Amino acid sequence: MRRYLQNDEINPIPSYVKNTKIIPTVRLPKVPVKIEDYYAYTTRGDRYDTLAQTFYGDSSYWWIIAICNPLNSSDSLVPEIGTQIRIPNKSRIPEILNIYSKVNVNSSVNVQNI
């Protein structure tokens, strides 16, 4: 085990690593299904950010729609054409942001800037 210990003489830590700001992991909450949620079938040209702009008036809430649809690709803003997606009602935004804050208690991300 001793060989894994950091010794600055043997394995010096580069200055760019020492001065790097560590960004905490952001955890995305699970949004429970509620009766007031919308369901829509996607068409050509739909993206999570444009859907968020349409339904919420703010495209920065795209991630809410994305996490509510885990069967779609999580690495894309574009849902597959013809799939049914769930869009939480706009009135649920404060509730979802509150869940986000509880899941990310130790995160330095400011929920107000999301």
User: How many other CB atoms are there within 10 angstroms of residue 46's CB atom?
Assistant: 19
Region 72-95: mean pLDDT is: 88
pLDDT for res 25: 76
Contact 79, 48 (CB under 8 A): yes
Q: How far does the chain reach from its first CA to its final CA, in angstroms?
A: 43
d(CA 31, CA 65): 10
| Mean predicted lDDT score pLDDT of the chain | 80
What per-residue confidence (pLDDT) applies to 112?
46
Question: pTM for this one?
Answer: 0.70
- Residues near 109 by beta carbon (within 8 Å), at least 6 away in sequence: 24, 26
Q: Report the pLDDT value the prediction gives residue 76, as an integer from 0 to 100.
A: 77
How confident is the model over 32-72, as pLDDT tens digits?
A: 999 999 999 999 999 999 999 999 999 999 999 999 998 87
